[in-house]
Structure 1
Amino acid sequence: METTLERPTIADWRTYPQTAALTSLRPQADRLDLVWDDGRVSPFHHQWLRDNCPCGECVYAVTREQVLEIIDVPADLAPERAAIELGYLCVHWSDGHRSQFDPGWLRAHAYDDDSRAERLAAHQTTRVWRRDFEVPVFQHDQLMEDDSALLEWMLALRDLGLSRVDGVPTAPGSLHRIAQRIAFIRETNFGVLFDVKSKAAAADSNAYTAFNLPLHTDLPTRELQPGLQFLHCLVNNADGGDSVFVDGFAIAQALRDEAPEDFRTLCEMPIEFRNKDRRSDYRCLAPVIALDARGEISEIRIANFLRGPFDAPAERMEALYHAWRAFLSLTRDPRFRLQQKLRAGQMWCFDNRRTLHARTAFDPASGERHLQGCYIDRDELLSRILVLQRGR
């Protein structure tokens, strides 16, 4: 009795275009080697295929999350029959289970060397910049109304770590709506939205003073630094008060190239950052430079005005100071520094775990300077990008 082949379920919310077609398979003792029409051969081990079966018994269709645990199938499970049918991989297992796999999904998750190299190349989207960087500028109304413009803005934030938005209404609280176009706002001890202006004796952060604020990342005192920071200008007619930015990834890469021992020290030796006021006391011990699982620079954590005394083995204290001085020296190097004055109705948005920011001193007697800010976690940015990219 013939059965009708149904299009395989994909245990995901994304779509996977077919970039290559399956032409044949070569059964091996522990795997199936699939041959594509571009000549690539991708091995898929039996346990990997069974573990990733997308059928309704193995994946709950409502959530598209796995319910199968591989421990519940025999370790020596093998196909009784495997074939390519209407372009799909169909496997009949020795325990009676049947799996069907979409070729687009298989190609996107293949783990032969060429496929893994392609995914790694696609993952490496970061582009570092220096003082001649032209900050990408976006328009508030477009971002509020057009998802394509929103996606373009978010990709710039992901890849470049710095952007400017013009035409933002200057009424207090206007920041709230555009930030929520990306995701919900992360609340901190400074509030959901925080006001950046000189508070003199009432200041609970150096940001709320008028003097020069050196390059830093916000809240390095937290286990997870905020990912995105928004700074929206309501008014800025005081003398001074320019914004200064440095790509922390460019600084770290320069250190890696020019002083590898200093780079290694700042990756390995933790520093304690402290944020204490009358009502709170936050502390975090972490390295200045963090690397991801691939060994790529993924986070910078620095704020000299929030740094505690170094606590390191005596024989390594000189090395730590040497590395710290080298990093700070690069942040002052003109080749890395970008400086602009934010005007009313403009907004900076940047990756706070990458882009160091500063403010030149200003004279509060010469005019008013009032910015509002907020934070969104980097995970929310990346999630929103993936959702908007579905089906595109």
Structure 2
Amino acid sequence: MNAVDTALENPPIADWRSYPVSADLVEVKAAADALETVWSDGRVSPFHHQWLRDNCSCSKCVYSVTREQLFEIVDVPEQLHPQRTRIDEQGHLLIDWQDGHHSRFHPGWLRAHAYDEASRAERRAQRPHSRLWGAEMNEQLPQFDYQAVMTDDSALLHWLVAVRDIGLTQLLGVPTSEDVLPTLAKRISFIRESNFGVLFDVQSKADADSNAYTSFNLPLHTDLPTRELEPGLQFLHCLVNDATGGESVFVDGFAVAEALHQEAPELFRTLCDTPIEFRNKSRTSDYRCLAPIIALDAHGAVSEIRMGNFLKGPFDAPVERMAALYSAYRRFIEMTREPRFRVQRRLEAGQLWCFDNRRTLHARTEFDPTSGARHFKGCYVDRDELLSRIHVLQR
């Protein structure tokens, strides 16, 4: 049997993951425009003919090297239907289509993608969920060992899942040389460059082009709300911190949004529905973005917080909505100042913050630049890169 015959005999799953069989296929029933599959645990999963044909993973429909689809559903009749169906000895669903095409579906893959309500509810329950936090994080901060993260993929995965689900982590035992941060960040993936560079130095500068590069109190914010896509992860690596003051402050923006939703739903909705403009102006660049402070994902969950009072432009809202916008804006900032949400810790040399910049608001208390040196190294990695790395490590 040649390679082509083998590919036809054993078509690949159009994915790089594996799919364990949690229930066996025991029966297939014909319906008007679908097949009803009956599983060994009693669940019944209808699959429409078009869905099945669209997801055929044979070598004619999916290129086995890339596992990307070659087939497009418009290339077969809309009313295409199976001529014959059966379950083989390995438990696969086999379909002979009326046009002569043959499809085979792995039972684990088919169950994992079933779209009956029970199966969809299972997938919703299995999706990662954000773990909201408040002041208790002062005592429960997730901390990880730098050497373990750099040398052990299981430790790396443990850290990245915490970044994804909690949004605030700290690494300990980090060498204080300036070349360490890019090596760590690339343990995840590519570094995102911005107008501040691939890496940036957070220290007081006489010719600062951002308040972050001064010794002032820096209020709670997310970095680069002026961009269409805010950076996902932010790293801050402490090389030296001998100055008086300058403590790091964090607030879980998702927790504040949820509390606002519960306590004042009309204010929450205003911040979801009303875009405001953020502006980042310097001598050589001018970035602007019009977006709401609270963004929701396709499932209706909070997916992003965009905040930076020192970067916002004048509100531009209809006259009848301006008062409501200010009420919502004021309340959100008031809540971020409440002790129940606030985490405040000093970062020492050899320690590193890694947090979700599109979720976790961060700030810095004022420090005295004459009292000692203070130098943090920073960079960004997009959230997509974090999620991709987690998926690869998990599979």
Please indicate the TM-score interval, normalised by the length of the shorter structure: over 0.9
**Deviation for aligned residue 1:173:** 2.5
- Structure 2: runs of 5 or more not aligned: none
**DSSP-derived class of the 2:341 partner:** coil
- 1:333-372 equivalences in 2 (<5 Å): 333-372=338-377
Separation of aligned partners in 1, 2:242 and 2:128:
40
**Deviation for aligned residue 1:135:** 1.3
TM-score by length of 2: 0.97
| Partner residue in 1 for 2:103 | 99
| Partner residue in 1 for 2:155 | 149
Q: 1:123 aligns with which of 127, 134, 139?
A: 127
**Deviation for aligned residue 1:122:** 1.2
**DSSP-derived class of the 1:80 partner:** strand
| Partner residue in 2 for 1:322 | 327
CA contact (8 A) 1:235 1:343 kept: yes
TM-score by length of 1: 0.97
CA contact (8 A) 1:183 1:380 kept: yes
Which amino acid in the other structure matches residue 76 of structure 2? V
- 1:247-258 equivalences in 2 (<5 Å): 247-258=252-263
**Deviation for aligned residue 1:357:** 0.3
Separation of aligned partners in 2, 1:40 and 1:157:
36
CA contact (8 A) 2:293 2:305 kept: yes
Q: Deviations over 1:106-152 (max 9, x none)?
A: 01100000110111111142110011021111111111100000001
| Partner residue in 2 for 1:137 | 143
Q: 2:77 aligns with which of 64, 74, 77?
A: 74
Q: 1:284 aligns with which of 266, 284, 289?
A: 289
| Partner residue in 2 for 1:273 | 278
Separation of aligned partners in 2, 1:344 and 1:21:
56
Q: 2:51 aligns with which of 28, 34, 48?
A: 48
Separation of aligned partners in 2, 1:371 and 1:122:
37
Separation of aligned partners in 2, 1:173 and 1:166:
16
How many residue pairs get aligned? The number is 387
Matched, 1:312 2:317: yes
- 1:213-292 equivalences in 2 (<5 Å): 213-292=218-297
CA contact (8 A) 1:217 1:356 kept: yes
Matched, 1:160 2:166: yes
Separation of aligned partners in 1, 2:19 and 2:102:
22
**DSSP-derived class of the 2:385 partner:** helix
Q: Percent identity?
A: 68
Separation of aligned partners in 1, 2:253 and 2:317:
24
**Deviation for aligned residue 1:323:** 0.3
Separation of aligned partners in 2, 1:326 and 1:38:
50
Which amino acid in the other structure matches residue 294 of structure 1? H
Q: Deviations over 1:151-172 (max 9, x none)?
A: 0111001100010001111011
CA contact (8 A) 2:272 2:293 kept: yes
Matched, 1:38 2:27: no
CA contact (8 A) 1:8 1:102 kept: no
Separation of aligned partners in 1, 2:19 and 2:378:
38
Which amino acid in the other structure matches residue 34 of structure 1? T
| Partner residue in 2 for 1:181 | 187
**DSSP-derived class of the 1:50 partner:** helix
Separation of aligned partners in 1, 2:38 and 2:223:
50
Separation of aligned partners in 2, 1:144 and 1:235:
22
Separation of aligned partners in 2, 1:274 and 1:9:
49
Distance change (3 Å), C-alpha of 1:60 and 1:7: closer
| Partner residue in 1 for 2:301 | 296
